[in-house]
Chain A
Amino acid sequence: MLKIIKLKKGLDIKLKGEPEKIFGAAEKPAKYALKPADFVGITPKLSVQEGDHVKIGSPLFLDKNRPEIKFVSPVSGTISAINRGEKRKLLSIVVTSDAQEDYIKHDVGEWEKMTREQIINIILESGSFPFFIQRPYGIIANPADIPKAVFVSCFDSSPLAVDYDFAMQYDAEYLKAGIKVLSKLTNGNVNLGISKKMLNSTIFNTEFLDIKNVVITAFAGKHPSGNAGVQINHVNPVNKGDIVWTVKLQHAVMLGKLFEKGIYDANKIVVLAGSQVERPCYYRIVSGAPVSIFAGQIKKENEKENRIISGNVLSGSRIDEDGYLGFYDEQICVIPEGNYYELFGWAKPFRMKKFSMSRSYFSWIMPDKKYELDTNYNGSVRAFVMNGQYEKVLPMNIYPVYLLKAILASDIDKMEQLGIYEVIEEDLALCEFVCTSKIDVQKILRDGIDLMIKEMTS
Chain B
Amino acid sequence: MRLREIIEKIKPAFSKGGKLGMFSSTFEAFESFIFVPNTVAKNKGSHIHDSIDLKRTMSIVIMALMPALIFGMWNTGYQHFLSVGEEVSFIDTFFYGFVKVLPLIIVSYVTGLAIEFASAQIRGHEVNEGYLVTGMIIPLIMPVDVPLWILALSVIFAVVIGKEIFGGTGMNIWNPALLSRAFVFFAYPSKISGDKIWIAGLENAQNAADGFSGATPLSYAAANEIDKLPDTLDMFIGIIPGSIGETSTIAILLGASILIFTGIASWKIMVSTVAGALFTGLLVNMLGGSPYLEMPAWQHLIMGGFAFGAVFMATDPVTSAQTETGKWLYGFLIGVVVIIIRLFNPGFPEGMMMAILLMNTFAPLIDHCVVQSNIKKRMKRKLIL
Contacts and interface: CB of A to CB of B under 8 A. Distances in A.
Contacts of A294: none
Interface stretch (B35-43, B142-150, B219-227): B35-43
A344 B35 CA distance: 5
A384 B327 CA distance: 18
B230 to A, nearest CB: 36
A325 to B, nearest CB: 15
A297 interface: no
Contacts of B126: 380-382
A94 to B, nearest CB: 20
B211 interface: no
Contact of B47 (A237, A318, A357, A398): A318
A387 B371 CA distance: 15
A440 B371 CA distance: 23
Size bracket of the A interface? 35 or more
A356 B39 CA distance: 18
B168 interface: yes
A360 B42 contact: no
Interface string A408-431: 000000000111000001000100
A359 B263 contact: yes
Interface string B41-64: 111111111111111110110000
Interface residues of B, number: 61
B51 A355 contact: yes
Interface in A366-386: 373-386
A316 B47 CA distance: 8
Contacts of A432: 45-46, 49
A379 B55 contact: yes
Given A360-B52, A385-B317, A387-B317, A379 B262 contact: no
Q: Which of B36, B49, B51, B382 has the most CB atoms of chain A within a 10 A radius of its CB?
A: B51
Contacts of A345: 35-36
A425 B46 CA distance: 10
Interface string B371-385: 100110111011001
A419 B381 CA distance: 12
A340 B40 CA distance: 9
Interface stretch (A64-72, A123-131, A258-266, A346-354): A346-354
Nearest to B321: A387
Contacts of A376: 36, 38-41, 49
Contact of A340 (B38, B57, B130): B38
Contact of A314 (B48, B57, B169, B374): B48
A417 B125 CA distance: 32
Contact of A440 (B45, B264, B381): B45
For B32, B125, B320, the residue with the greatest tally of chain A CB atoms inside 10 Å of its CB is: B32
A433 B49 contact: yes
A351 B38 contact: no
A341 interface: yes
Nearest to A341: B35
A57 to B, nearest CB: 29
B42 A443 contact: yes
B129 interface: yes
A344 B34 contact: yes
A361 interface: yes
A398 to B, nearest CB: 8
B382 to A, nearest CB: 4
Nearest to B7: A341
Given A237-B381, A347-B59, A360-B60, A378 B35 contact: no
B381 A239 contact: yes
Contacts of B266: 388
B231 interface: no
Contacts of B324: 388, 391
A267 interface: no
16 contacts: A307-B41, A309-B47, A318-B44, A339-B38, A357-B50, A376-B36, A376-B49, A377-B37, A377-B39, A379-B36, A382-B128, A383-B168, A385-B170, A397-B377, A418-B374, A433-B48
Instruction: Give the 4 A-B CB pairs with smallest separation, nearest first.
Output: A379-B53, A345-B36, A354-B51, A383-B170
Interface of B: 1, 3-4, 28, 32, 34-57, 59-60, 125-126, 128-130, 168-171, 261-264, 266, 317-318, 320, 322-324, 327, 371, 374-375, 377-379, 381-382, 385
Interface of A: 13, 15, 237, 239-242, 307, 309, 313-318, 333, 335, 337-347, 351, 354-361, 363, 373-388, 391, 397-399, 401-402, 417-419, 425, 429, 432-438, 440-443
Given A239-B385, A433-B49, 4 more contacts: A316-B47, A341-B4, A375-B41, A436-B52
